[in-house]
Amino acid sequence: MSTRTTARLEGVTFRALITLVFAFLLLPVLIVILTSFTPQNFPAIPQEGLSIKWYQELLADQRLLNALTVSLLVSTVSAILSAIIGTITAIGFVRGEFPYKEQISTIMLLPMIISPVITGIALVRYFSTIQLPSGFPALILGHTVLSLPYVFLLVRSELLTYDRDLERASRVLGADPVTTFRHVTGPIISPAILAGAFIAFVVSFGEFTATQFLISPGTSTVPVVIYTMLRTGLTPTINALSVVLIVVMLVLALASRKLSSA
């Protein structure tokens, strides 16, 4: 075999392998979406026409709708809190000067490093000690702390690239710090803050492992309901609910990406 044919063969093999890896990565999600349109009572790939009956089933199920409302509420509130706290903290770390700044900033990242099971039991125990009710207050606080690192990282990297002279000019011209933030810094970094809030929403909306400890009867979130349903048997309703989850998460994540790269 000539070297050229060997090289071509290598190229073809490599491309085939890459295609397989992409298939491995993406097919699980695609199969969830595809089988949600089955007319059968089992998540099968629809071969004789598509059906939306499992989505109608979803709309008729009070428990699932309730979970969706709980998830939307918890994720919205915790995303807002996370965006506010994350932004203020990021400004402090980027603009402030203090010793061991880099090392101390890793504390902000701890919630994404520690196993969420440990976070879950630690929080539920702590909340009962300080008598914070389980359900919404526990879920919102827990999700805020879990999504905070993402906002912090995003806003911090945005602040690092932005021209500080604009802020200095505002201060020199007589504006106080809060006015400077409202009219100069804020508007410039607001796409990043919004991007951070969206990512925080996505993190919260999909969180399961710590969440299973924080829920109370009646405040199950969508991932918890999916997990519980999976344990009792496969029905295409799980697919329909998963697809709703996928759509919400992808739309917000894409919006976030658009905002932060702009």
8 A C-beta contact, residue 238 and residue 229? yes
- Using the minimum distance from each CB to other proteins, give the nearer residue, 73 or 94: 94
Residue 17 beta carbon to other proteins: minimum distance, rounded to whole angstroms: 6
- 93: alpha, beta or left, given left = phi > 0 and alpha = psi -120 to 50? alpha
Nearest Cα to Cα of residue 202 among 143, 260, 153, 134: 143
Residue 151 beta carbon to other proteins: minimum distance, rounded to whole angstroms: 9
8 A C-beta contact, residue 56 and residue 68? no
Residue 228 beta carbon to other proteins: minimum distance, rounded to whole angstroms: 10
Residue 59 beta carbon to other proteins: minimum distance, rounded to whole angstroms: 19
Cα 57 to chain centroid, rounded: 27
Hey, what are 9's tokens? 């063969």
- Using the minimum distance from each CB to other proteins, give the nearer residue, 65 or 118: 118
Half-sphere exposure in the Cβ direction for 92 (13 Å, CA): 13
Which residue intervals of the chain are DSSP H helices? 3-35, 53-60, 62-95, 101-113, 116-129, 136-160, 165-172, 177-180, 186-206, 211-214, 222-232, 236-261
Residue 42 beta carbon to other proteins: minimum distance, rounded to whole angstroms: 8
8 A C-beta contact, residue 219 and residue 135? yes
- Using the minimum distance from each CB to other proteins, give the nearer residue, 10 or 12: 10
- Using the minimum distance from each CB to other proteins, give the nearer residue, 60 or 254: 254
- Using the minimum distance from each CB to other proteins, give the nearer residue, 125 or 168: 125
- Write the DSSP symbol of residue 41: S
CA quadruple 63, 64, 68, 69: dihedral sign: negative
- Using the minimum distance from each CB to other proteins, give the nearer residue, 85 or 188: 85
8 A C-beta contact, residue 83 and residue 193? yes
Residue 95 beta carbon to other proteins: minimum distance, rounded to whole angstroms: 4
- Using the minimum distance from each CB to other proteins, give the nearer residue, 115 or 232: 115
Residue 145 beta carbon to other proteins: minimum distance, rounded to whole angstroms: 5
